[in-house]
Structure 1
């Protein structure tokens, strides 16, 4: 059973979904753009029913109570600090970390900067940031796939384009790969005052980020062949950035929206990863 609650930190109050009982294996799940914690509904239910205490926050900018105004407040270092602060409030010394899309970006950075706290890492869709950034500059295919970054970084222009005509631009991002009622929920959240600007500030703060270092915790990376935003170059290059046990899984004929389009397959991989790395 999934329950909604709030967790307050020095940076603000986060809306959080939980599943399972406190005292179970600690697992945190980080959503991507333009989504929210509910993207993990299937995984939360499975983890909570499997002896874990799973927690999925609406991240900085997505939670109304943690929505700073300045672009610099969305640097990845700040986003990682939110992960640590939420874990602190839960009294978690070590935990498993799972992230999709931008949530994976934060998860990679968290695992690199505080490996002593991360029991295992599962990154979905987005590869290691160093591999991704290199592919964006050196691989023509990835450069083409990432052109949308230029729009999303433009203040006011991106908001206007994405919200025009009943937010048709936002809706098209999902390429109709997930249920329409779920898309409606995401659109409703992001059409609240300042919500979309806060979410886009993640893109606008990218140039302020420090490089993500090597990963020294057991890592599962899941990529899908029909992902229009991440090509195979960066996906395959990710292995070079993990010095701990590493598993790469490729899902055929699945889009970028793996947690919702292929929930059973992803959850099975997550469960296997957690069972393999218990300590």
Structure 2
């Protein structure tokens, strides 16, 4: 049965469920500041390979799931939202996440390996090595988080040609990306909720090691996540682990390198299932 939405603790989440209905399910978790549509060029490639894709608009992005305080965006809640989606699907899934979706996916894979057949992380490594890297050069790359943690200010600079749009252009966005941000995030009312994830960072839960087959996909054109953030990432995975580096690709892997993203997902799935 196709899932267009699901409910957890009174919050309603919108879902894009597409591809072969009988295909093995692949759950795709978007990052900031994007929605499920960021997988629009990745999903068809997975469909061609016989997989069903389920991409939710996560907490803060779906209109029916926008808590008003930062307590509503605690990492444990974000993780349980995905667990509830997998329960709705009714079987273990291949899990994929980019940016903040990757941060959440690490938590799901660590806490509920029974629900995750394989795990493909894009851009953001396990929180333990990432936190450790903040003592070095990564701290400078993550300086934007201070802005995103401020009350009201990020929303005030999110207008047309404002500071936030200039930041995103500097990270690799083009005119089409900016227009999609205006329509799908700002005009849609999703920006405060997306920023809520940053504002709740101090409430992040501890995440243990991941035992499921894992691939880490990182691009050397990423202005937000440096190579040092990945040092020791393999130590946070007890199962099979592979690091794939994409040369000449910006932070926005799903939209700027959809074929490479899909190939990495398919390779991870094949190794996990022995296909």
Q: How many residues align?
A: 273
Aligned position for 2:100: 102
Aligned position for 2:267: 272
Distance across 2 between alignment mates of 1:174 and 1:86: 33
Distance 1:171 1:52, change over 3 A: farther
* Contact 2:127-2:207 at 8 Å conserved across structures: yes
C-alpha deviation, 1:179, in angstroms: 4.9
* Contact 2:3-2:17 at 8 Å conserved across structures: yes
Give CA-to-partner distance per residue, 1:185-220, whole Å, 9 cap, x none.
222222237521111010010110112111111000
* Contact 1:222-1:249 at 8 Å conserved across structures: yes
Distance across 1 between alignment mates of 2:21 and 2:11: 22
C-alpha RMSD of matched pairs (Å): 1.9
Q: Find out whether 1:68 has 2:105 as its counterpart.
A: no
Give CA-to-partner distance per residue, 1:90-119, whole Å, 9 cap, x none.
22x311110000000000011111111111
Q: Find out whether 1:214 has 2:212 as its counterpart.
A: no
Distance across 2 between alignment mates of 1:60 and 1:211: 20
Aligned position for 1:186: 181
Distance across 2 between alignment mates of 1:14 and 1:219: 27
Aligned position for 2:242: 247
| Higher alpha-carbon deviation: 188-197 or 124-133 | 188-197
Query: How high is the TM-score relative to the length of structure 2?
Result: 0.93
Query: How high is the TM-score relative to the length of structure 1?
Result: 0.92
* Contact 1:30-1:100 at 8 Å conserved across structures: yes
Aligned position for 1:59: 58
Q: Which runs of 5+ in 1 are unaligned?
A: none
Q: Find out whether 1:261 has 2:260 as its counterpart.
A: no
* Contact 1:75-1:209 at 8 Å conserved across structures: yes
Q: Find out whether 1:202 has 2:197 as its counterpart.
A: yes
Q: How does 1:1-279 map to 2 (within 5 A)?
A: 5-91=4-90, 93-136=91-134, 138-139=135-136, 141-163=137-159, 165-167=160-162, 169-170=164-165, 172-175=167-170, 177-192=172-187, 194-278=189-273
Distance 1:257 1:7, change over 3 A: same
